[in-house]
Amino acid sequence: MKRIVSGIKPTGSLTLGNYLGAIKQFVKLQKERKNDEFFLFIADLHAITTRQVPHELRKRTLDVAAMYLACGLDKERTTLFIQSEIHEHAELGYILQSNVYMGELERMTQYKDKNDKNDTSITSSLFTYPALMAADILLYDADYVPVGDDQKQHLELTRDIAARFNNYYSNFFKVPEPLIPEVGARIMDLQNPDKKMSKSENNPKGYITLFDDEKTITKKIKSAKTDSLGVINYDPVNQKGLANLINIFASVTDLSINEIVNKYKNVGYKIFKEDLAKKLVDVLIPIQEKYHEIIKSNELHEILNKGREIANRYANLKMKKCKRKVGLGRK
Ligand code: AQP
């Protein structure tokens, strides 16, 4: 039996990128791997590495939990919990900060991207974020971590931190493997295909949220940036915007890129975009209906309470052993 762990930070409305890169994959894995255990958390501690409005953060935390379930997660087989409700994440995160070097953290592209913009509001927690992420994973002895491509570098650092700790203190942490989907691992911004789609992006035309209605989805796809070549072809170098839309199409329908290109090669972008919008509506509207049912019910809190109880048991035991290993406390 393997343990699969992943999380999402509630920094905004979940995007199509979060769905295709992470949640859809998680649901698929759950269907395929009947004997494995699934731990999924809402990473609210990560969210506060950038400024959040408290009541919005609290609401979004529940929204993300409800969305996970609405996307098809099996509640009976998932330990679903809120990161900040398990204090061991922060505690282990601190210990792991003492096992990661400044140079390693400085090389993280997510941090570098923000730093390159000379943003003076970068917090120290945004810098040390990868140590907390390592704690999120290592606390539960995860075998696999399904994530989008943008988190690959953080996961590699998690593996290095685990190996370094094991090397110094003797074997203790399981070294996890990333699971990155073949299609949908990096969905790009609809207006700027050089940038990944992000929920905290300022221009809402660049992303589709899981809450967008039919009209909005259609409008955003219609206005997605493509090129003037006018030929449906998969060319991520010269037709970046179109390649991104083809990737989205493939990921949403489970058709291959070739099948899509062959189907649309003799029609213009207009028809292709209309069909893509329809496919997205067919997937997202039922998810939204489910979300509304879940968020209104009391069941969500019951599921999160149960998740907290189970996660707490694992985290508590691992943390006790970890402190003993490191030499903290009296015994
Ligand atoms: N554009 C994307 N394409 C594919 N996968 C993506 N993920 C995020 N964006 C894309 C995957 O979604 C999971 C949850 O990500 P997160 O919310 O924890 O943090 P993030 O990667 O920083 O996502 P955002 O949307 O870009 O958040 P903000 O704007 O707050 O920084 C991860 O598995 C991630 O790979």
User: Model confidence at 60, in pLDDT bands (50, 70, 90)?
Assistant: very high
Nearest to 154 by CA among 170, 127, 134: 134
Ligand 1 lining (C-beta closer than 6 Å): 8-9, 11, 15, 17-18, 20-22, 43, 147-148, 150-151, 185-187, 196-200
The one catalytic residue among 9, 24, 196, 318: 196
Distances (CA, A) of 144 to 2, 100, 137, 175, 264: 8, 21, 9, 9, 37
**Catalytic residue from among 9, 24, 59, 114:** 114
User: What is the Cα–Cα distance from 68 to 90, expressed in whole angstroms?
Assistant: 23
Say how many Å lie between the CA of residue 22 and the centre of ligand 1: 8
Interval 161-203: pLDDT, tens: 999 999 999 999 999 999 998 888 899 999 999 999 998 888 9
Centre of ligand 1 from the C-alpha of residue 267, in Å = 33
Active site residue 114: yes
Do the domains spanning 3-185+298-326 and 204-292 agree at the CATH topology level? no
Work out the average pLDDT over 146-164. 96
Report the separation in Å between the CA atom of 140 and the middle of ligand 1, taken as the mean of its atom positions: 21
* Edge-to-edge strands, sheet with 144-146: 78-82, 37-42, 3-8, 144-146, 177-179
Domain residue extents for the chain:
3-185+298-326, 204-292
Angle of the 299-326 helix axis to the 54-70 helix axis, nearest 10:
100
In whole angstroms, give the CA distance from residue 307 to residue 313. Answer: 10
195 is catalytic: no
> What is the percent of the chain with per-residue pLDDT over 90, rounded to a whole number?
89
pLDDT of residue 331: 74
205 catalytically annotated: no
What fold characterizes domain 3-185+298-326?
Answer: Rossmann fold (3.40.50)
Within 10 angstroms of residue 103's Cβ, the number of other Cβ atoms is 7
Mean pLDDT of the 285-304 span: 96
Q: Which CATH superfamily is domain 204-292 in?
A: Tyrosyl-Transfer RNA Synthetase (1.10.240.10)
177 beta partners: 144
pLDDT digit string, tens, across residues 266-287: 898 999 999 999 999 999 999 9
Q: What are the pLDDT digits (tens) for 104-138?
A: 999 998 888 877 766 777 899 999 999 999 999 99
Residue 229 to residue 186: CA distance in whole angstroms: 23
Q: What is the mean pLDDT of the chain?
A: 95
Chain segment 209-267, per-residue pLDDT in tens: 999 999 999 999 999 999 999 899 999 999 999 999 999 999 999 899 999 999 999 89
